Structure 1
Amino acid sequence: MSSKSSQKALIAEFCDLTGAPEKLAQKLLKAAAWQKDVAVDNYFTSATSGTPSQKNSLTNLFEQYHESKDEKDKLGVEGVMRYLGDLGVDLETAEIFIPLEIVKAPGLGEITKSGFISKQKKFVASQIKKMSTDDSLFKRVYRHAFFASKEISQKAIPLENAIIYWTLLFNPPGKRWVSDSVDWLQLWTDFLQENWTKTVNKDMWNQTLEFFQKSMQDESLSFWSEDGAWPGVIDEFVAYVKPKLQTSVMETD
């Protein structure tokens, strides 16, 4: 990159995103051939074990989002929303769960200072791009979404909230729960709204992910059996959906 004005713009963007001083930003960008994403990733990757100045930069960045009314070492709702907004995260999609998993946020509107500083090494933007194809990443994000979505004192989340989060996670940039001929997400939410009156606990949340994975591989549901270890809600869903699948096949034929 030969344009000095372009380099200055990249340095400014790097500093805004990381809170790093200009000299360090210039050094890392130059080492990364002026590829901003690579330079930022390298910065956060080395931050935990890096120099005191790097750690201080992350601390200063944390303080920029800290409100006077927040607890000492935590970001509150307003700070979290500003942080996510500055990252360019779409708050209306599953993107919102990526940075929350990365910093191990204890709630949707809360980020601890220790999590913010020690986990920033994972670059959020690159993770968002990988979520739909990286099974391990999606599983981590999915499971943390339950943890972050419930009150600390609770063991379950309201059904209406769970449906909202499933809709976010099972749509881009997450993984779509739609196989060749079946819109599983629509069937799942219809079933729950018509038949389920309880809250959603951790086991139901995690087993839904397991069922999602298997149903995407085998939409005939041959993997399911009455003697299986599936929770009752999955058994009821299978009973609900099988006649609909048979009708769909007959109509296709």
Structure 2
Amino acid sequence: MVDKKFDNDVAQFCAITGASAKDARDFLKHHKRLDVAIDAYYNNPNAFSGRRKTDSSAPSTSKLSQLFDKYKDPDGDDITVEGTIKFCEDLEVDPEDVVLLAVAYELSSKRMGQWTRQGWIDGWKNVGTDSISGMKDSLSRLRTQLASDPVYFQKVYNHTFDFARSEGQRSLGTETAQAFWGLLLPHGFEGGALTKKAPSDDDGDVKMDDGDGWREEYNQWWFDFLTQKGGKGVSRDTWVMFLDFVRSIDTNFSTYDMEGEHILTSFRMNDDSSSPLGSAAWPSTIDDFVEYAKERLASGPH
């Protein structure tokens, strides 16, 4: 329980301050309490920077490179599917665990089951570890952060579109999109990352009242609708703007305005900027889904 609480405090510290995970751990270990640690960070964000420069426990490039070689395809330059499976076995994590989407974001993985040496080294150094035991510990923190931090969730969510896409394809296959939505959406709702709009305007975060927004059963409604609709797949716009839709819609879909424009809160694809993208009309796919959902609501319980 203590470790889980510490991981949660680290995630909250990062979400509130924008600091790195390593800074968060340093301040929390020293000050013990989350509120005190945050105050100390704002007073002197570089308090531990000098110590870090001489810290012998800082992640080692050579150790990370050796680990990479352990999993690398012997006939190529990258870690591929076979090495990824072995890596997951060593981490004791299911290859389909949602936390690996956070790892893919951190390590700049462009395709499922593929990791480059540079992304591996830079990513794990940024996370703050160079060993399997340390990576296991980091998975717990990343899982908590993905569930609870709306900004981090959105970055991982946006990265997942390109990560999950087949090479050379502009859209994401419908079944593939559903599989990844099936991983991400429940995790985000469970931890609270999807109960707030991403900070994007002068008003800051907007907390939705419990039971007043998107319901769990609507996930399956969305999947049913896409299956019935058919088509070539899910476009980038639909993928990105669907998250805005889920975060903003009311339970009865009564606030949805097909004719109007909304403020995009999603981050630019492959961009960590938190600035809004401006106004845009909802994709026609979401327009059609709202009509579908209202008809299901009108027809009573299913």
TM-score (norm 2): 0.60
Letter in 1 for 2:291: A
Deviation at 1:52, TM superposition (A): 9.7
Following superposition of structure 1 onto structure 2, how do residues 85-234 of structure 1 map, counting pairs within 5 Å? 85-120=89-124, 121-122=126-127, 123-172=138-187, 174-175=188-189, 180=211, 182=215, 183-215=217-249, 218-228=250-260, 229-234=281-286
Q: Does 1:239 align with 2:291?
A: yes
Give the whole-Å Cα distance in 2 for the aligned partners of 1:133 and 1:243: 33
1:206 to partner: Cα distance: 0.6
Give 1:222 shift.
3.5
Alpha-carbon distance in structure 2 between the residues aligned to 1:214 and 1:89? 33
Amino acid at match of 2:246: F
Deviation of 1:51 after TM superposition, in Å, equals 8.8
CA distance in 1, matches of 2:86, 2:189: 26
Q: Report the Cα offset of residue 67 of structure 1.
A: 2.5
Q: CA deviation at 1:224?
A: 1.4
**Cα shift readout 1:134-156 (whole Å, capped 9, x = no counterpart):** 10111111111111111232211
Corresponding position of 1:57: 63
Going from structure 1 to structure 2, the CA distance change for 1:221 and 1:140 (only over 3 Å counts) comes to same
Distance of 2:287 and 2:59 partners within structure 1: 55
Q: Distance in 2 between matches of 1:146 and 1:53?
A: 29
Bigger helix fraction: 1
Deviations 1:182-237 (A, max 9, x none): 3110110111111232211211111111111113xx21323311213100000000
Structure 1 residues 184 and 52: alpha-carbon distance in aligned structure 2, compared to 1, 3 A threshold? closer
> 2-side partners of 1:63 and 1:50: how far apart?
23
What amino acid is aligned across from residue 180 of structure 1 in structure 2?
Answer: G
Unmatched runs of 5 consecutive residues or more in structure 2: 1-28, 31-47, 128-137, 196-209, 261-280
Which residue of the partner structure matches residue 6 of structure 1? none
Paired with 1:93 and 1:80, the residues of 2 have a C-alpha distance of 13
TM-score (norm 1): 0.70
Distance 1:149 1:226, change over 3 A: same
Q: What per-residue deviation string (whole Å, max 9, x for no partner) do you get for residues 45-65 of structure 1? A: x69x98998111111111111
Q: Distance in 1 between matches of 2:103 and 2:296?
A: 38
Q: Which runs of 5+ in 1 are unaligned?
A: 1-31, 34-41
Count of aligned positions: 201
Quote how far apart the aligned CAs of 1:247 are. Answer: 4.1
C-alpha change, 1:236 and 1:153, in structure 2 (3 Å) is same
Which whole-Å CA distance do the structure 1 matches of 2:88 and 2:56 have between them?
25
**CA 240–61 in structure 1, closer or farther in 2 if over 3 Å, else same:** same
Which stretch of the first structure deviates more once superposed, 237-246 or 105-114?
Answer: 237-246
Aligned to 1:21: none
